[in-house]
Structure 1
Amino acid sequence: MRGIWLATVSRLDWPPIASVETSNNALRIQQQKEALKAKLDNLQRLGINTVFFQVKPDGSALWPSKILPWSDVLTGTLGADPGYDPLQFMLDEAHRRGMKVHAWFNPYRVSTNISASTIGQLNRTASLRPASVFVEHRDWIRTAGNRFVLDPGIPEVRTWITSIVSEVITRYPVDGVQFDDYFYAESPDSRLNDQATFHQYGQRFASKADWRRHNTQQLIEQVSRTIRQQRPGVEFGISPAGVWRNRSFDPAGSDTRGAAAYDESYADTRRWVQQGLLDYIAPQIYWPFSRSAARYDVLANWWADVVKPTHTRLYIGVALYKVGEPSKNEPDWTIDGGVPELKKQLDLNDTNPHINGTILFREGYLNQPQTGAAVSYLRNRWGR
């Protein structure tokens, strides 16, 4: 697997902002399609064989959904029909080039901010079918990390998310489905207030943390079961934070001192591998070999040991976005354009028999001046 994430949230990688600023619909569609084809051509030259395409960046969709309104990233207006089906277009173009496409979903995010203009935009979908979940199920909505999110503790929320995955896998020939690391996504200044939900559903749990982990577990089980029933050939994977747990908290954890998915996102990612719920796991190991708090090799080898006795494949998420960026704590990213660090990481991935590939975060960084040397190296290593 030589993969790359292609983010649509806030138009990070696609579609181009210029396309949305044109008032000519035909020109907008043409610009968006041409931009995507150019990206796929470039990825093909680079030797990329799998694209993780963000089809649900928030509470909106990049396909004609019966559950979610159209994403505003396509037209500038939430709920506005873009005049074509971006997911189908991506699938057609990627498959024509012999590349696989995994539909990447952010399960719980409803919006990227809580500004008055965002609230107005969400409320204006009330007359649409479908309207935003913000309008349809206001009681599911919470604020966390300065965003509107769905409350993961509500059973109907998990069923709703599962129905969205089901819609995609039954209507499109996607090769896989991936959730990113946003399960419980809080920030110190914007915690998720799920006290009432905990009071309603969490009474049999020893702690709120255990109850939250149970909720995340329920979602993964539900989605895994649904995919296997409806489209058994579609791969289901998660891309969690690189650290499951630190050894200081749990003897089974890694020799690291980083933010841990188990304790911060309430995601017991190791358990999902052990239980066979996932076809693959793609931990985001976004640190160099020299970062003592979370060494690349320590974490990659720890994950390789986790998947070893299972049938779950392991792909490592690599921090292309850090390559060439000056950093006091991680100077290795700028030494010789970041090429020696990148080479060490890819060499480890290739030589460990339990690591099945690499995914780069993210596509937009292939075109940045600071990654030029690294991209040339990748083309020589992977390209045709």
Structure 2
Amino acid sequence: MRKLRAGILPAVVFGLLFTGFGLCGANEVLKDPTTGRPVRYGGRFETRRTVSVPPYLQRAREMRGVWVATVENIDFGRHTDAAGFKRDFIAVVNNLQRAKFNAIFFQVRPMCDAFYPSKHNPWSRWMTGKEGQAIPNFDPLAFMVAEAHKRGLEFHAWLNPYRVNAGAQVGKTAYLKTLDNKSFAKRNPGLVLESKLANGRYSLFLNPGEPRVVEHIADTIAEILENYPVDAIHFDDYFYLYSDIGTIDSASFQRNNPGRLSLEDWRRGNVDKAIYTVKKTVDAYNRRSGRKVAFGVSPFGIWANKKSNPNGSLTGGKQSYYAQYADTRGWVRKGWVDYIIPQLYWPFSHEVAAYAALADWWSDAVKGTRVRLFIGQGLYRVGAERIWQPRELVDQMRYNQMLFNVDGTVIFSYRNVFMPGNGQMKEAVSRILQGCWRYPARLPDYPNVR
């Protein structure tokens, strides 16, 4: 989702966080906080158009979600006993219910591991502090889904399909030795790719070009579906690495490329196969069970820049289509996902990734499909620099209301909502919760679910 940051979230008293704000503003032309001039619609790529937003009008149905990241214990701490886990998770869902959220995106597979008893993956180190170590006589996922549902919250099981680590000081051979014997990566070192990062650390991830990796991902999803009444299966933005990986997968490329595709198209095809397989796995389960579990992805916010692709956006940043080989627009157009949550972690006044141009692009991307569009908003950015003012996220929500295809918001992340890191972030939270989300909202349905 973003650069990893360690920390354990202590207990928070909900009522201390928020002061009241009125309605979310009148119809107005937005101003660049760094210049005082009207915001340019597309940053440096469209300078003539300005951006206006209407007053906020609460909807009867909209997504109001939040990501709870367990990797590095960003949003949820480690526990060795069921009582502590239960206490802290109940605090989480109670806070969400009081704040008028209606969905939780909880990370149950941070790094080829599990927050539930699994035949395919070891217990997560981020759960107890040691990979493979369980909380005795306790199934965390069963408990979490039940408690979320008691409070009217959808539970989206958030998985990272490929990541083995987020960067280690030691290389592949040494790192795999540290993993639990149940780890798919440890049992199949030949299916793990290693890339040296710019900071000198080593990043490991499952090789998307190997069919056994796709099978493992599908088996992992099927196990969750068969054992837990989750409302959705959810992937984040990590596919191939953001950084250049060179030709580390050349052997797989030569062996598993009967169509003689280019390396870039072959890699995109590999990720396509995983997404398609998961969608088919979820659909098959729904047909057998009569349930309506959704499958969704939260990708990096830029699919492609218009300069690189005629179908791209008025942007100039990194592109998931070319950098990560993730054809997120294609998945939408083909109906391989039931919802998509692009991470639009930029403000209106950004020079190369202006919010308005990107929100419009994504609204157009889902037009004519049955795929729901929610916007991922980066609360953690507020207050980090002058361009990120407390009103930014509410202004984005106001703008979204002009886009027929936008059906709500998911915020990164829980810690930032209930333990804001600075005064401006705290004000931003108050503007959303006290100014905009005064009343509950029902969740939209997922018309693409089969």
* TM-score for both structures, normalised by structure 2: 0.77
Alignment of structure 1 residues 56-135 onto 2, 5 Å = 56-83=109-136, 84-116=138-170, 122-123=176-177, 128=181, 131-135=182-186
The correspondence for 1:172, drawn from 218, 228, 250, is 228
Flag the structure with more relative contact order, 1 or 2, with Cα contacts below 8 A and sequence separation at least 6. Answer: 2
The correspondence for 2:266, drawn from 192, 211, 221, is 211
Question: What is the RMSD of the two structures over their aligned residues, measured on CA atoms?
Answer: 1.9
C-alpha displacement at 1:119, in angstroms? 6.5
3-state SS in 1 of match to 2:363: helix
Q: Which ranges in structure 1 are unaligned for 5 or more consecutive residues?
A: 20-24
Distance in 2 (CA, whole Å) between partners of 1:125 and 1:310 is 42
Distance in 2 (CA, whole Å) between partners of 1:119 and 1:378 is 47
3-state SS in 2 of match to 1:55: strand
Q: Comparing 248-257 with 32-41, which one deviates more in the overlay?
A: 32-41
Q: What do residues 283-317 of structure 1 show as CA deviations (whole Å, max 9, x unaligned)?
A: 00110001121111111111111111100000000
The code of the aligned residue for 1:68 comes to N
Distance 1:383 1:118, change over 3 A: farther
C-alpha displacement at 1:205, in angstroms? 3.2
Task: Name 2:429's counterpart in structure 1.
Answer: 375
Task: Name 1:15's counterpart in structure 2.
Answer: 77
Q: What do residues 95-138 of structure 1 show as CA deviations (whole Å, max 9, x unaligned)?
A: 11100010111000112333459966753656x5xx11122111
Task: Name 2:41's counterpart in structure 1.
Answer: none
Task: Name 2:12's counterpart in structure 1.
Answer: none
Alignment of structure 1 residues 315-354 onto 2, 5 Å = 315-326=374-385, 331-334=386-389, 338-339=390-391, 341-354=392-405
Q: Comparing 57-66 with 37-46, which one deviates more in the overlay?
A: 37-46
C-alpha displacement at 1:170, in angstroms? 1.3
CA contact (8 A) 1:246 1:254 kept: yes
C-alpha displacement at 1:351, in angstroms? 2.8
Distance in 1 (CA, whole Å) between partners of 2:269 and 2:413 is 31
Q: Which ranges in structure 2 are unaligned for 5 or more consecutive residues?
A: 1-62, 440-450
CA contact (8 A) 1:134 1:141 kept: yes
CA contact (8 A) 1:78 1:121 kept: no
Answer with 1 or 2: which has the greater Rg.
2
The correspondence for 2:208, drawn from 145, 149, 152, is 152
3-state SS in 1 of match to 2:316: coil
Distance 1:152 1:121, change over 3 A: closer
3-state SS in 2 of match to 1:237: strand
The code of the aligned residue for 2:238 comes to Y
CA contact (8 A) 2:243 2:323 kept: no
Between Structure 1 and Structure 2, the one with more helix by share is 1
C-alpha displacement at 1:163, in angstroms? 0.7
Q: Comparing 65-74 with 134-143, which one deviates more in the overlay?
A: 134-143
Distance in 1 (CA, whole Å) between partners of 2:365 and 2:70 is 31
Task: Name 1:247's counterpart in structure 2.
Answer: 306
Distance in 2 (CA, whole Å) between partners of 1:50 and 1:211 is 35
The code of the aligned residue for 1:4 comes to V
Number of corresponding residues: 363
The code of the aligned residue for 1:353 comes to F
Distance in 2 (CA, whole Å) between partners of 1:206 and 1:166 is 30
Distance in 1 (CA, whole Å) between partners of 2:317 and 2:166 is 25
3-state SS in 2 of match to 1:264: helix
Distance 1:117 1:278, change over 3 A: closer
Calculate percent identity across the aligned residue pairs: 39
The code of the aligned residue for 1:41 comes to N
The code of the aligned residue for 1:132 comes to S
Task: Name 2:256's counterpart in structure 1.
Answer: 201
Task: Name 1:22's counterpart in structure 2.
Answer: none
The code of the aligned residue for 1:98 comes to G
Distance in 1 (CA, whole Å) between partners of 2:281 and 2:187 is 24
Distance in 1 (CA, whole Å) between partners of 2:121 and 2:113 is 5
Task: Name 1:5's counterpart in structure 2.
Answer: 67
Distance in 2 (CA, whole Å) between partners of 1:176 and 1:206 is 33
Distance in 2 (CA, whole Å) between partners of 1:78 and 1:379 is 37
Task: Name 1:41's counterpart in structure 2.
Answer: 94
Distance in 1 (CA, whole Å) between partners of 2:171 and 2:331 is 39
Are 2:341 and 1:282 equivalent residues in the alignment? yes
Distance in 2 (CA, whole Å) between partners of 1:231 and 1:34 is 32
Q: What do residues 295-352 of structure 1 show as CA deviations (whole Å, max 9, x unaligned)?
A: 11111111111111100000000011101212xxxx2313xxx12x112101122231
Distance in 2 (CA, whole Å) between partners of 1:289 and 1:192 is 37
Task: Name 1:303's counterpart in structure 2.
Answer: 362
Distance in 1 (CA, whole Å) between partners of 2:161 and 2:74 is 18
